[in-house]
Structure 1
Amino acid sequence: MSTSANKKKLVIGNWKMNGSSAANAALLRGLLPVISSFERVEIALCPPYPYLATVADLLDDSDVVLGAQNLSTELSGAHTGEVSGSMLGDIGCRFVLVGHSERRALYGEDDACVAKKFATALQAGLIPVLCVGETLAQRQSGETQTVVTTQLHAVLKAVGIDELAKGVIAYEPVWAIGTGETATPEQAQAVHRHIRQWLADHDCVAADCRILYGGSVKADNAERLFNQPDIDGGLIGGASLDAMSFAAICEAAQAKPTI
């Protein structure tokens, strides 16, 4: 099953808890002139909450769009320290990550919580980027497809297939995030194909759904990953903090339009 020829690849940079006003401005000064001519790839950046507004201003004259790393399950009210989807939309966010493995593992976000965040993001007019993936132990036990399917099904149960299809799915094997380890292109493709087939089995126009790979994507492996038929781009962590590395990854996506 191949992906749609009518959609651009998508590359999202997740800065995680990194950056400063000066460092962010320097990064974008180096990055934006290089990627400004990339017309066949959509690019988004997800800085930490305190820098969303200033990064939005720096991106104002570019085609790069803004994303957030997380959102509250609640719409408003007495939730000190939380940030709502409507607030994110108000300052110009288009995307928001939900279910990142670090949120699941470090902050106890289970499948039900992730599903609620996905629904809340849609309600706020944002595009949720649903992160799914298995641990090393789960892969070694042959549970990869079961784990990913369970994570997907939680969102399906909460919102239905039509709403699920409005988001983006990011497969990020937990064992390959920030470790320097990367799934081989063939390993990544196998899971992406499973996800796309799962979508099709639930009456989704699966070819139109963008499925990204995340997990130590770097300039030297991006092209081989993006050349796989069911990989529609990447969710990039550490490499998104280096202008030239991230630009090279975006160029790899630009060079390999989805077919």
Structure 2
Amino acid sequence: MKNGKKLIVANWKMHKTQTESLEFLNFFLNEIKKDHDREVILFPPFTSLGVISKHLYGTKVRLGAQNIHWDDYGSYTGSISGLMLGELDVKYVIVNHYERLRCEQNPYDKMTNLRLKAAQRHAITPILCVGETQEQRNADETEKIIDTQLSNALSDVDLNNLIIGYESIWAIGTGESCKPSEANRIIAWIRKQLGKKDIPIIYGGSVTHSNIKGIMAQPEINGVMVGSLSLDPTSLARIVNF
């Protein structure tokens, strides 16, 4: 992101087998413009990381993971470490996506901080997700909630190797999207809180090929996180090629 490119994050969540992932990739690579100037990152499920990694060599598409554990080894059934991700040439990792956190009691506790540091320790750029629910927005608590999330997560974290993802939680998977101007306002506020003008901050929440142009036209928004539409190669290509 230091090159100033717009960032397109495609979060597949719990979708696609290895076979389906390869079918998607082969079609998608032929659909996107060869001279595009975006940083496109695919975040497949863990089972597809290896096979996708092998087929991204020589392309402009990068590989990301959907979660990371804070330790390199240990008795953590079902977890995956930065050491393992680095071996697969994973360059980015999502930390604290709301859909992983909604069942946790203290989602922005010290474990978030440790996940961020673990990613950076293995030269993986973490994307820290922050955002408010509809109830919190209605109560005019958006800034208060995000400020708490940032304060709890970023102690001693290197801001030079970090991306912030502003997710309007109430818009995730609902078809509703935060107005581009409002997303721009919140992202500008986050950047001011962090005191770092060049930190990349992206927007997530029902991003489509219909609203991508308006979102990307906002001066404070450095990219988008795409959910359901990232599962269709034609739809994702339209977003990349906007």
Whether these two folds match at TM > 0.5 is: yes
How many corresponding residue pairs?
A: 241
Identity %: 36
Please name the residue that 1:42 is paired with.
39
Per the TM alignment, residue 164 of structure 1 is displaced from its structure 2 partner at its CA by 2.7
Please name the residue that 2:169 is paired with.
174
Superposed, 1:41-120 pairs within 5 Å as 41-108=38-105, 110-112=107-109, 113-120=111-118
The two structures have a TM-score, normalised by structure 1, of 0.89
The two structures have a TM-score, normalised by structure 2, of 0.94
Per the TM alignment, residue 165 of structure 1 is displaced from its structure 2 partner at its CA by 3.4
Distance 2:146 2:42 in 1: 25
SS in 1 for 2:241: helix
Please name the residue that 1:192 is paired with.
187
Letter matched to residue 147 of structure 2: T
Q: 1:39 to 1:146 in 2, by over 3 A?
A: same
Please name the residue that 2:203 is paired with.
213
SS in 2 for 1:165: helix
Q: Where does the alignment leave 5 or more consecutive residues of structure 1 unmatched?
A: 253-259
Q: Is the CA contact (8 Å cut-off) linking 1:36 and 1:63 kept in structure 2?
A: no
Q: Is the CA contact (8 Å cut-off) linking 2:8 and 2:223 kept in structure 1?
A: yes
Please name the residue that 1:25 is paired with.
22
Per the TM alignment, residue 119 of structure 1 is displaced from its structure 2 partner at its CA by 1.1
Distance 2:177 2:135 in 1: 15
Deviations 1:65-106 (CA, angstroms, capped at 9, x unpaired): 100000112221222221101110111100000011112113
Distance 1:109 1:79 in 2: 19
User: Match for 1:183 among 159, 178, 199?
Assistant: 178
Distance 2:4 2:86 in 1: 23
Which of the pair has the greater relative contact order for Cα pairs under 8 Å at 6+ separation?
A: 1
Task: Flag as ranges the 4+ runs of structure 1 deviating above 4 A.
Answer: none
Distance 1:17 1:108 in 2: 22
Per the TM alignment, residue 38 of structure 1 is displaced from its structure 2 partner at its CA by 3.8
Distance 2:14 2:35 in 1: 27
Q: Is the CA contact (8 Å cut-off) linking 2:202 and 2:223 kept in structure 1?
A: yes
Q: Is the CA contact (8 Å cut-off) linking 2:36 and 2:241 kept in structure 1?
A: no
Deviations 1:25-81 (CA, angstroms, capped at 9, x unpaired): 221122112225143111100000011000111212311010000011222122222
- The more displaced of 72-81 and 15-24 is 72-81
Letter matched to residue 213 of structure 2: E
RMSD, aligned CA: 1.6
SS in 2 for 1:43: strand
Distance 1:169 1:198 in 2: 12
Distance 2:84 2:25 in 1: 23
Per the TM alignment, residue 107 of structure 1 is displaced from its structure 2 partner at its CA by 4.2
Per the TM alignment, residue 251 of structure 1 is displaced from its structure 2 partner at its CA by 1.6
Please name the residue that 1:165 is paired with.
160
Q: Is the CA contact (8 Å cut-off) linking 1:155 and 1:164 kept in structure 2?
A: no
Per the TM alignment, residue 109 of structure 1 is displaced from its structure 2 partner at its CA by 5.6
Please name the residue that 1:256 is paired with.
none
Please name the residue that 2:222 is paired with.
232
Q: Is the CA contact (8 Å cut-off) linking 1:132 and 1:170 kept in structure 2?
A: yes
Deviations 1:195-247 (CA, angstroms, capped at 9, x unpaired): 111122xxx3x2x2110000010000001001000000111111111111111
Say if 2:225 is the partner of 1:242.
Answer: no
Q: 1:105 to 1:137 in 2, by over 3 A?
A: same
The structure with the largest helix share of the pair is 1
Q: 1:88 to 1:36 in 2, by over 3 A?
A: farther
Q: Is the CA contact (8 Å cut-off) linking 1:30 and 1:243 kept in structure 2?
A: yes
